[in-house]
Amino acid sequence: MRSRAISAVWAAIGTILIFSPLIGLAADSLKAEQIYVQKLTDPQPNWLVVNDPNFLGNMDSKVLLMDVESSQMLGMLSTGAWRNAVELSPNRDLVYSPETYYSRGTRGERKDVLTIYELETLSPLGEIEIPPKRGSGAAHRAYSGISLDGRFVYVFNVTPAMSVSVIDVVKQTFVEEISIDGCAMVYPTGNFSFLSLCGNGRVRHTKLSHSGKLMESFFSDQIFDPMEDPLTEKAARVGGTWYFVSFHGKVVEVDASDEGVSETREWNALSKREVKKGWRPGGGQLLAAHETGTLYLSLNRKGVDSHKLPGERIRAYSIKDQRKIFDIRPAEPVINLAVSVGESPILVASTQGPTIFVHSAMDGRYLRQLRGPLLGTGVLQFIE
């Protein structure tokens, strides 16, 4: 047995020696791989930013960029702890991402920054240090915002005192922290102002100087009853109008600009009969709005206090006529909505798992589905 084993070894060595010149020849013909960065094309309306909070490891959350038409992932950003939303420059060449890091990974000195990424390569260009107070939790669109002209990015803070950090991304400097005590979130209303939703049933309008410093801050008239039918903080915007929805399905429209809140209106998205049957707005990012004047709302039939539960139905409304246009019944309950711009808009709706349903925003027709993060998505944002 031993002699056979030795013979086999020598036979193998002989084979290697015979073919070694060929191996060397093949190695000589191999060329060194050149490292490069793949560049993206110009931004497309069907590009979708999928925020991945990474709930099992939220100290290492991510942002995915996906092509809805081809169902392909185009790239990814690693964005620190507790992912929320990103902001995009007006010409869509830069991404601004509020991020949190700790010196020891999960502990140690905290540092919050606004990181600037180049969209073409998804590479970081720089970062601006901001107060280490960035509010976070379940992914939410209104934790940050950007002025209409793209100069100022606003980041909501909670310690639990509530304030907003103003960052000048043109000069790449932190400008000022502004107190919005009693109010929360950021809803930009022009080049130098933003709204916040308040616990007293009003909205606060905060106006800035041309340098980004606080000029004045004041409350609107009461627009909802926080005890009887509070508004959810999940809102959508078309032009100068922000759309909020109450726990019982009342839509509140707030027209605002740098000059202040000019008008508010309200109408019922649900009939009394539907409310009695248990229908309520529900989900995470439960509202989306299109420039044609269509509002999309996620609804469930779980009754009182179901505003955080997934939607069993997506309803499209004509804002002008304040009436239902059509209903979508997704194959699974959904939590987050987003709609693209343009003449043939796309409506996307994510489940609590990896599935993202894609529908025509014009008639609700099912088109396809995407595979997102395994544990579900946070905020959905179209590039355009």
Residue 7: pLDDT band with limits 50, 70, 90: low
CA angle 69/70/76 to nearest 5° reads 105
Average pLDDT over residues 321-343: 96
Q: Please, which pLDDT band fits residue 57 given cuts at 50, 70 and 90?
A: confident
| pLDDT computed for residue 36 by the predictor | 77
| Residue partners of 135: CB distance under 8 A and separation at least 6 | 143, 155, 156, 157, 158, 162
Residue that the structure tokens 């709609």 belong to? 339
Read off the pTM. Answer: 0.89
Residue 16 has what pLDDT?
Answer: 46
The residues pairing with 369 across neighbouring beta strands, listed in sequence order, are: 357
Closest among 95, 97, 65 to 79, alpha carbons compared: 97
pLDDT at 203: 97
Q: Which CATH number among 3.40.50.300, 3.30.70.270, 3.10.290.20, 2.130.10.10 corresponds to the domain 87-222?
A: 2.130.10.10
> What integer pLDDT is reported at residue 139 of this predicted model?
76
Q: What is the mean pLDDT of residues 21-25?
A: 51
Q: Rounded to an integer, what distance in angstroms lies between the CA atom of residue 333 and that of residue 337?
A: 12
For the chain, the average pLDDT equals 91
Average pLDDT on 220-230 reads 95
Q: Where are the domains of the chain?
A: 87-222, 234-378
**Residue written as token pair 């905020």:** 379
pLDDT tens for each residue of 274-316? 999 999 999 999 999 999 999 999 999 999 999 999 999 999 9
Predicted local distance difference test score (pLDDT) of residue 275: 96
String of DSSP letters for 100-163 = EEETTSSSSSEEEEEEEEETTTTEEEEEEEE-TTB--SS--GGGEEE-TTS-EEEEEEESSSEE
From the candidate CATH numbers 2.130.10.10, 3.40.50.150, 3.30.70.1230, 3.40.50.620, the one assigned to the domain spanning 234-378: 2.130.10.10
108, two tokens:
């140690």
Q: Is residue 115 pLDDT above 90, yes or no?
A: yes
pLDDT category at 24 given cuts 50, 70, 90 is low
Q: How far apart are CA 171 and CA 155, in angstroms?
A: 17
State the Cα–Cα distance between residues 313 and 258, nearest whole angstrom. 36
